[in-house]
Amino acid sequence: MKMIAAWIQVIVVVLIVGYGTWQLFEGKFAQSFATLPFLFAYYVFVVARLRKKQYDSMEDDQER
pLDDT (0 to 100) of residue 42? 87
CB neighbours of residue 62 within 10 Å: 7
How is 1-49 classified by DSSP, letter by letter?
-HHHHHHHHHHHHHHHHHHHHHHHHHT-HHHHHTTHHHHHHHHHHHHHH
CB neighbours of residue 20 within 10 Å: 19
State pTM to two decimals. Answer: 0.68
pLDDT in tens, the chain (64 residues): 688 988 988 999 999 999 999 999 999 999 989 999 998 988 888 877 777 777 666 666 666 5
pLDDT (0 to 100) of residue 59? 62
Q: Domain limits of the chain?
A: 2-63
Q: In sequence order, what are the residues at sequence separation of 6 or more whose Cβ sits closer than 8 angstroms to the Cβ of residue 9?
A: 42, 46
